[in-house]
Amino acid sequence: MLAIDESLVKLGLKASGKDDAIRQVALILSSNNCVDPSYAESMLGREKQTATYLGNGIAIPHGLRSDANMIRRTAIAVAQFPDGVYWSGTEKVYLVIGIAAKSDEHIQVLANLTAILQDEAASARLSSTSQASVIVEALTQSPRPTADSKESEIQYPFAADVQIRGHNGLHARPATEFSRVARRFQSDVRVRFSGKS
């Protein structure tokens, strides 16, 4: 799994808006020799395609695939904005997790994010912590064992199993679109992968 260095976590930042927040997380990456300084423009370009807001105050900006040559090494940077930054409409982001990926090393970190996204208290704790180690631990923790799926399975009157094929699976763009569509309905939606839901 990708190791996140505490030097890539900056706490207590302020931003004038989403673009400024993205530039700040890109600067963390470039200052640590992970990406070319121009990677910020790639991240902003990607954001214009589809917003990278995930929920519970977390966004994951990353660059365009066509600009992968700007990445010197796979890394994840975290910029914490305790006062929040308006991202898409009324959604406020407190943790901006900048991704520069040459490979799939970052996938486990994204999987760990799903647990944080489902836990409002954990998200709030990471948004206000004064210790970079707390954020690093949350993003790099080993997956916790889950309860037996038959015992914890909620029975719904209708269920559908959908398989996402392809190298990237349900990554940011389709997941964002899926979330947008799901919000239009009054229903419970559960996404499950490798025993986690």
Report the run of H or E that residue 176 belongs to, with start and end. helix 172-182
Task: Determine the pLDDT at residue 182.
Answer: 74
- What pTM, to 2 d.p., does this model score? 0.74
Q: Is residue 162 part of a domain?
A: no
Q: How many domains does the chain have?
A: 1
Task: Determine the pLDDT at residue 149.
Answer: 44
Burial of 113 (0-12, 13-18, 19+ CB in 10 A): buried
The proportion of the chain whose per-residue pLDDT surpasses 90, expressed as a percent, equals: 49
Distance CA 104, CA 111 (A): 12
User: Could you tell me the CATH number of the domain that includes residue 113?
Assistant: 3.40.930.10
Distance CA 171, CA 116 (A): 16
Q: Is residue 167 part of a domain?
A: no
Task: Determine the pLDDT at residue 127.
Answer: 94
Q: Is residue 155 part of a domain?
A: no
Q: Is residue 134 part of a domain?
A: yes
- Residues 7-26: pLDDT tens digits? 999 999 999 999 999 999 99
Q: Is residue 110 part of a domain?
A: yes
Which residue range(s) make up the domain with 50? 7-145
Least confident of 73-87, 99-113, 166-180: 166-180
Q: What is the mean pLDDT of residues 41-56?
A: 93
Pick from 161, 148, 116: which is nearest to 135 by CA?
A: 116
pLDDT higher than threshold 90 for residue 27: yes
